[in-house]
Amino acid sequence: AARYLTGAPDRLDQALTAVSDTGRRAITDLRHLLDLLDPGHGTGPGGEDRTPPVGRLLTLVEQTRRAGQPVEFTEEGTPPDSTGGADLVAYRVVQEALTNALKYDHGSPTSVLVRHGEREITVEVGTDGSGSRDASPGGGGRGLEGLRERVGVLGGDFSAGRLTGGGFLVRARIPAGVPA
């Protein structure tokens, strides 16, 4: 956000909103993970659920659009009643891929495809490479490696890499119904 203060003050509000939204989503995700590990921890004295549901994919896409990234979103199929931890992992794949698109290919048309099958969720997020490469300094974080581990724990497949003609593609196949 500080970079936008001098370089693009008109986008400062968008950047701060994106940071705030990401923080809220991270807290929600942590609460969800705690619920998976200890189902009773998030309930109040009357048994009511105090943990908000994990954010919907469309909300995540809209937040990314507001931050200046053009995103085309397609969701196919109907999520099964019980996906184990697959829905949360799919959400995290989309979240990390969109964050990386904003950081490393800002302004590049980005596509998000989520397919819900009977036994798996497939996620594909890609950019075409036409955006600004100087939108953010290099990362060095463990985002993609962490996703590989999350998907692998559920017995799925994960790949991420540059495309020959430019851009970047993240793919994940996540078995549904597997406990997280």
Q: What is the pLDDT of residues 5-57, one digit of tens each?
A: 666 667 777 777 777 777 767 766 665 566 556 555 545 454 444 333 344 78
pLDDT of 86 > 80? The answer is yes
Tell me what the mean pLDDT of segment 84-93 comes to. Answer: 86
- The amino acid at residue 125 is V
Q: Residue 66: which H helix or E strand, with range?
A: helix 57-66
Q: Residue 58: which H helix or E strand, with range?
A: helix 57-66
Q: What is the pLDDT of residues 141-176, one digit of tens each?
A: 578 888 999 899 999 999 999 988 889 999 999 998
Q: What is the pLDDT of residues 115-134, one digit of tens each?
A: 998 889 999 999 998 876 65
Residue 71: predicted pLDDT: 96
- Whole-structure pTM value: 0.68
The domains found in the chain, sorted by start residue, are: 55-175 (3.30.565.10)
Residue 84: predicted pLDDT: 72
Phi-psi region of 41 (alpha: psi -120 to 50; beta: other; left: phi over 0): alpha
Residue 127: predicted pLDDT: 93
